[in-house]
Amino acid sequence: MGKIPCCEKNGLKRGPWTPEEDKKLIDYIQKHGHGRWRTLPKNAGLKRCGKSCRLRWANYLRPDIKRGRFSFEEEEIIIQLHSVLGNKWSAIASRLPGRTDNEIKNYWNTHIRKRLLRMGIDPVTHTPRLDLLELSSAICSTLYNSSSPHNPQINVPNLLGIGPIMDPDLLNLATTFLSCQQNQIWVFHK
């Protein structure tokens, strides 16, 4: 059988923290410092496990935590560091004072990763997505080859091989690529 989760031992409390618990933890750490997380809850008068206290302090209660929206500069740093370090959120957080690894990871997954995908950039490799490059090449080639008076209109759904039902994002991407000229190099900007 596996190890018993720390919060199921001895009737320890789980779930959301109360303001009273936060105050006890803050007061104890201000007076005694942090560390020795296994003994801290009992010494501070908390019915929590050490891991819960450590995570609460590290991610929410530390006085140096920066709150609010990420700046453009912070986003750029996250993208640059992610391209080098990958999902090493602690290493990325160490270069962004006041931001926690958990906060950066959540921001990456809910905002930056999705924006990179919308821009046609693979969020893992940080390079243009090959499937979109192939699509743009096919569209540009077809447009170039079909610019005769015999074929003045192009049916985008048929060109994409998707019939009458089309994803709006794909339609938006396709119409963007329709304005391209042959041999144009695509640069994806924010």
Place of tokens 């090959």: 130
Average pLDDT over every residue of 169-180: 50
pTM exceeds 0.75, yes or no: no
pLDDT in tens, 18-49: 999 999 999 999 999 988 999 999 999 999 99
Gap between the Cα atoms of 168 and 42, Å rounded: 56
pLDDT number for residue 75 = 93
Instruction: Set out the domains of the chain in order of their start, with CATH numbers.
Output: 19-61 (1.10.10), 68-143 (1.10.10.60)
Amino acid 135 reads L
What is the dihedral angle through the alpha carbons of 21, 22, 23, 27, rounded to the nearest 10 degrees?
110
3-state secondary structure of 62: coil
pLDDT number for residue 55 = 93
pLDDT in tens, 108-122: 999 999 988 888 888
Which alpha helices (DSSP H) does the chain contain, by range?
19-32, 40-44, 50-56, 72-85, 89-93, 101-107, 113-118, 130-145, 156-160, 168-178
pLDDT number for residue 34 = 86
pLDDT number for residue 163 = 52
- 1 pLDDT exceeds 70? no
- Band (189; pLDDT cuts 50, 70, 90): very low
pLDDT in tens, 126-144: 888 766 656 666 666 666 6
Average pLDDT over every residue of 101-113: 94
Amino acid 76 reads E
Mean per-residue pLDDT of the chain: 78
Gap between the Cα atoms of 138 and 106, Å rounded: 36
Average pLDDT over every residue of 42-60: 94
